[in-house]
Amino acid sequence: MTKLDWIRIKANYELVIDNLLDLSHTSYLHDGLLGNQDMVDAEITVEQVGDAVVVGRRSMNSTIPGLFAIQMPGHPRVDKWNTIRWTAPGNLLLRSGVHKLGTDPETGTGYYGIHFLTPETDRTTLYHFTAVRWNVLTEPSSNEQIGKRFP
């Protein structure tokens, strides 16, 4: 399932980039859906790859957040990770996922979030975004549940 959307944010685009690159915000802003208090303490990496900045965040042995619990049922505790790649001025690619404790991240499931930021004025930003899941591990009925619960 893919959803394309946009919002107008009353802030400079650089502030939005700062927020997105600070992956710890999911534990607070998206508590229960994409993150939780178990994920506050995490291993963080920051590196420059060519012209991009890549931030990573890993939380080991954490309670599985709501969206991921639907995507990978039957695993109350997981290893969770996020990476976000910022290519200036306003393109960001997020990859987020969970996997069984101690296993290879590619055996789990997650989603890509694509974010395009366009400065409208010095104080407003057009924020375009979409998301798509990868390695779907659910039955079709769960896919319908995700669409209804997280449209």
92-101: per-residue pLDDT in tens? Answer: 999 999 999 9
Model confidence pLDDT, tens digit, residues 40-65: 999 999 999 999 999 999 999 999 99
Residue 22 clears pLDDT 60, i.e. is over it: yes
In the CATH scheme, what architecture does the domain 3-142 have?
Alpha-Beta Complex (3.90)
> What pLDDT shows up at residue 138?
77
CA distances, 21 to each of 52, 53, 61, 115, 132 (Å): 12, 9, 23, 11, 19
122 touches 11 (CB < 8 A): no
Q: What pTM did the predictor assign?
A: 0.88
Tell me the domain boundaries of the chain.
3-142
